[in-house]
Amino acid sequence: LSGGLRSPRRWPVPYRRFDYRPKTDPYCQARYTFCPTGSAIPVMKEEDVIEVYRLQAPVWEFKYGDLLGHLKIMHDAVGFKSSLTGKNYTMEWYELFQLGNCTFPHLRPGMDAPFWCNQGAACFYEGIDDAHWKANGTLVLVTTISGTMFNEMAQWVKHDNETGIYYETWTVQASPDKKSTVWFDSYECSKFILRTYQKLADLGAVFKKIQTNYTSIILFSGEPIYLGNETSIFGPQGNKTLAAAIRDFYSPFKPHQSVREFLMDLFKIIDRVILNHQFYLFYNLEYWFLPMKSPYLKIIYEEVPLPVGSKASFGV
Q: Where in the sequence numbering do the catalytic residues fall? A: 75, 189
The angle that helices 147-163 and 189-203 make with each other, rounded to 10 degrees, is 140
Q: What is the spatial distance between Cα 24 and Cα 165, in angstroms, rounded to a whole number?
A: 11
Short-list 271, 259, 246, CA closest to 116: 246
**Direct distance between the N- and C-terminal alpha carbons of the chain, in angstroms, rounded to an integer:** 55
Identity of the residue numbered 163: T
In a 13 Å sphere around the CA of 138, the CA atoms on its Cβ side amount to: 19
CA distances for 282 relative to 23, 109, 238, angstroms = 20, 20, 17
Dihedral sign from CA coordinates of 207, 210, 211, 212:
negative
Q: What is the spatial distance between Cα 17 and Cα 162, in angstroms, rounded to a whole number?
A: 9
Q: What is the spatial distance between Cα 263 and Cα 265, in angstroms, rounded to a whole number?
A: 5
